[in-house]
Structure formats: structure tokens, C-alpha cells
């Protein structure tokens, strides 16, 4: 089954305050705030992509193309705070909102499942179309994000700040700095 995951809203909150990032970089004054803020956004995005997690709360939409799965829907990111809605859109464009009483959400750490209460509560599984699951993903607040993720983001910002060019003459090309990979490794979502 083909699927697509889309961020619907921007994250709520600030993962690492700019003043903490500037202290980490040992930068005084506001002259490079825009540059450092851009590096912070890039570092957070890279860390989220690497771990397949959402760090701060935001609305997400999972679209599954094909038939409504009768065995349930596995959400492809973590952590998930809530399933907001499940909608089946038939090939002809007709939408059916699945009543919340017809499914249950199992949200437990890295596990996020939407299961039918009974197979009769879901639209006809033989009809092709698109299933749209709207949900809220991310830790409740920046305070709930594990410290090693924050440390990895700070290391990435420091790396981007120190190496501002795409190519560094006389250096060997490498992947993520080793410390960043080690800090993020326990948090890679395997769902």
C-alpha cells in the first residue's frame, strides 16, 4: 500500500532557545542571530529525519492509498499524542468520516496503532480510495525531549556554524559527526 506522511502545521514551541544555542557556540551579541536560527532549524530537521521522530507537537496527516486496512493502521512516526480523525475518501471523491467509536488508538511510546473496533464499523474494504489519518505527533513539550537529542542538535548547530561551506578544502568528507550519530542512535524510530 502506498503511503504519504505530511506535516500539516508547524511545531508548537521552541526545542532549544536561541540564547542557549548562542551560549553553546560562545557567541555574544545579536549580529548572527538569523544565521544561527537557520542552522538551528536545519539541525532540528536533520535530527528529526534521522530519528523519524517529531520532537515538538504538530499536526500530521498520513494518507494510505488503496483499500482501508481491516487489520489496522500503523502510524510511521513517534511519539504520537492523539489520533484526531480517520477519513476514508473513495475513488469517486466521496468522503466518509470514520466515527471515533469505530476505532481505538493504541498510543504507547513508540507504538501508535489505529485499530478497528469491529470490521463492520469501517467502510467496505473492497472499495479502493485513500485513508486519511490526522494525528498529533511530538513530545508534549521541549522539556520532555530526551537530553541526548538536545545535545545532538547543539552539536549539529556547532558543526554547521564552524563549517559554513559545502566543501572544505583539505578535509576528508564524512557523514554526521560521530557524537551526533551516537547520541541519536537510541532514538531512531523503528516502527
CA atoms within a 13 Å half-sphere pointing along the CA-CB vector of 141: 2
Using DSSP's 3-state secondary structure scheme, residue 41 falls into: helix
β partners of residue 12: none
Tens of pLDDT, residues 130-176: 889 999 999 999 999 999 999 999 999 999 998 876 655 555 555 56
Nearest to 75 by CA among 57, 56, 89, 62: 62
Specify the pTM. Answer: 0.85
pLDDT digits (tens, 9 = 90+) for 48-102: 999 999 999 999 999 998 876 778 899 999 999 999 999 988 888 889 898 899 8
162 touches 100 (CB < 8 A)? no
pLDDT, one tens digit per residue, over 89-126 is: 888 888 989 889 989 999 998 889 999 887 666 666 56
Residues in CB range of 8: below 8 A, 6 or more apart:
58, 59, 60, 61, 134
Amino acid at each position: 500500500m502506498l503511503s504519504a506522511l505530511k506535516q500539516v502545521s508547524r511545531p508548537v514551541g521552541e526545542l532549544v532557545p536561541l540564547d542557549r544555542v548562542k551560549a553553546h557556540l560562545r557567541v555574544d551579541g545579536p549580529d548572527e542571530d538569523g544565521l544561527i536560527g537557520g542552522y538551528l532549524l536545519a539541525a532540528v530537521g536533520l535530527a528529526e529525519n534521522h530519528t523519524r521522530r517529531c520532537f515538538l507537537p504538530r499536526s500530521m496527516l498520513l494518507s494510505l492509498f488503496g483499500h482501508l486496512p481491516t487489520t489496522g493502521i500503523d502510524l510511521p512516526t513517534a511519539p504520537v499524542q492523539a489520533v484526531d480523525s480517520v477519513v476514508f475518501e473513495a475513488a469517486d471523491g466521496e468522503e466518509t468520516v470514520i466515527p471515533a467509536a469505530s476505532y481505538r488508538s493504541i498510543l504507547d511510546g513508540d507504538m501508535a496503532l489505529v485499530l478497528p473496533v469491529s470490521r463492520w464499523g469501517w467502510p467496505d474494504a473492497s472499495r479502493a480510495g485513500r485513508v486519511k489519518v490526522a494525528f498529533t505527533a511530538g513530545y508534549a513539550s521541549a522539556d520532555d525531549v530526551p537530553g541526548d537529542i538536545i545535545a545532538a542538535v547543539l552539536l549539529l548547530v556547532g558543526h554547521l556554524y564552524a563549517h559554513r561551506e559545502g566543501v572544505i578544502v583539505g578535509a576528508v568528507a564524512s557523514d554526521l559527526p560521530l557524537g551526533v550519530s551516537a547520541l541519536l542512535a537510541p532514538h531512531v524510530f523503528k516502527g
